[in-house]
Copies of this chain bind each other. A is one copy, B any other.
Amino acid sequence: MEKYDVIVVGGSAAGLTAAQTVRRHYPDKKILVIRKEEQVLIPCGIPYIFGSLQGPHENLIPDGAYEAMKMDLRVAQVVDVDRINKLVKTNSEEFVFKKLILATGSFPAMPPIPGHDKQGVYAILKDIPYLNELQERLKSAKNVVVIGGGFIGIEISDEIKKSGVENVCVIEIEEHCLSQSYDEEFCTEMEEQLRSRGVNIYTGSKVMSIDGNDRVESVALSTGKTIPADLIILGIGAVANADLAKKIGLRIGLTGGIVVDRAMRTSDPDIFACGDCAEKVSFFGGKSSALRLASIATLEARVAGANVFGIKRETPGTVGVWGTAIGNLAMGTAGLTEKMAKAHGYNVIGAVNESVNRHPGKLPGASKIKIKLVFEVNSGVLLGGQVRGDASAGEIMNAISACVLNRMTAEQIAMFQSGTHPLITASPIAYGIVNAAEAAIAKMLKVKE
């Protein structure tokens, strides 16, 4: 029976990052990763296998790190853990561990819609044969309905449309697509972009039933509309896969994730959890958060991995930073939107700056950037920011994330020392993050008068 210092269950973003972090912090420890997949899909890349890429095989997390960082890998299903004797059991083997890290991921959420079990209804499983089958079916599909207008839903819709499907519809229950990610003025821009590329969008629409005989034929909406569908894709979010943790008696949280402390320890101090399977608390107020993102997973993995033999790191909770892109239009968000911040009880001011990402604007590649920052009025602390632009919106979002994480005030951001260059950023006079902060300060001065 082989003995390991650390065993990681799961080999996607969280599991691989946790193992790498253990290796970096404890160069001499023996590490095993057990995962159930022969090859691991890049989770956020799945939408692109339907259009931009040739298929799932072009969207894999490389396995080079295992050899390079001297970590063992087993492809097997973990069926049980003996917490007393510190054993991990697969169907055919047992391994001894000192410390265990659970990174068992998530499942797609399944909506309680009548007919969701009909043939032709697909979720986005992280499973290569399943996705290959879906891709094959898409080739002959004429009417595809995507249920859920979050970022996975809109990205998949666009890719499917791009691949040549005649009718692609997105159904969103809220008033706008992406309303969990952006304030309305950003959501409507992305909706316009998606429509301009041929995708139909039905917002404020609940799917009441999925209809047809054995196979799906149409969906009925709360608005009374019926939409033909020979294929349905569900994109309504993810729920923690805490099955193993439940079986072995670990504490489970409000959103169904494995309860962890700030050091990513579960209720068993020798077992850590990270990624989609772990319960999250918000950076803002500390309540449970249902956000499931690969970037959160890797943060938690870096905390868990560093802590296995002595607590070195504690997470301040989930800020929530993510982006999306449709064609040349990219958007990013870090922290709270104005709507979310108000719902949270904060007294907020939002301020917007629009600029151009080159200076002068006649230089090649020039396009518009919009940045919105949201501040708490009394303290002036930044609660979140949103950006719309070209590909560099992704890194503007990360610059905003750094400001949120450091709880910078509008005054501090107004004195942000940005670097600028004609060919790659906005002008220093117009730089968006700074000017949005100045606009917020001007508004706050009026409020205080």
- Number of copies of chain A assembled together: 2
Q: How far is the CA of A132 from the CA of B267 in the complex (A)?
A: 73
Partner of A417, one of B58, B295, B391: B295
Say whether A238 faces chain B, with CB atoms less than 8 Å apart.
no
Query: Mask for A261-299, Cβ within 8 A of B = 1, else 0?
Result: 000000000000000000000010000000001111111
Q: Report the bound CA distance from A296 to B417 in whole Å.
A: 7
- Decide: A13 and B429 in contact? CB cutoff 8 A: yes
Whether, in the assembled complex, A315 has its beta carbon less than 8 Å from a beta carbon of chain B, the answer is yes
A-side interface mostly: mixed
Q: Which of A46-60 contact B (CB under 8 A)?
A: 47-48, 52-53, 58-60
Which residue of B has the minimal Cβ distance to A21? Answer: B438
Q: Please, which residues of chain B bring their CB within 8 A of the CB of A415?
A: 299, 302-303, 313, 315-316
Indicate whether A322 sits within 8 Å of B419 (C-beta atoms), given known contacts A363-B48, A428-B298. yes
Is A16 a contact partner of B360 (Cβ separation < 8 A)? no
What distance in Å separates the Cβ of A434 from its nearest Cβ neighbour in chain B? 7
Inter-chain contact A297/B419, CB cutoff 8 Å? no
Tell me whether B52 and A363 are in contact (CB under 8 A): yes
A24 at interface, CB cutoff 8 A: yes
- In the assembled complex, the Cα of A60 lies from the Cα of B363 at a distance in Å of 12
- A39 located at the interface, meaning its Cβ lies under 8 Å from any Cβ of chain B in the complex: no
Quick check: B418 and A53 within 8 Å, CB to CB?
no
A427: chain B residues at CB < 8 Å are 13, 42, 294
A interface residues, how many (CB within 8 angstroms): 90
Closest residue on chain B to residue A446 by CB atoms: B27
Decide yes or no whether A394 CB sits under 8 A from chain B. Answer: yes
Cα distance A302–B433 in the bound complex, in angstroms: 14
Interface string of A413-445 (1 = CB under 8 A from B): 011111111111101110101100011011001
- Chain B residues with CB under 8 Å of A442's CB are 24-25, 27
CB distance from A363 to the nearest CB of B (A): 6
A252 in the interface, Cβ–Cβ < 8 Å?
A: no
A124 contacts B by Cβ under 8 Å:
no
- A sample of 6 inter-chain contacts (CB < 8 A) reads A25-B442, A58-B360, A313-B414, A323-B420, A391-B424, A399-B401
Q: Apart from A13-B429, A322-B419, A399-B399, list 8 A-B contacts with CB within 8 A.
A: A44-B359, A313-B411, A391-B424, A392-B395, A395-B398, A395-B399, A396-B398, A402-B416
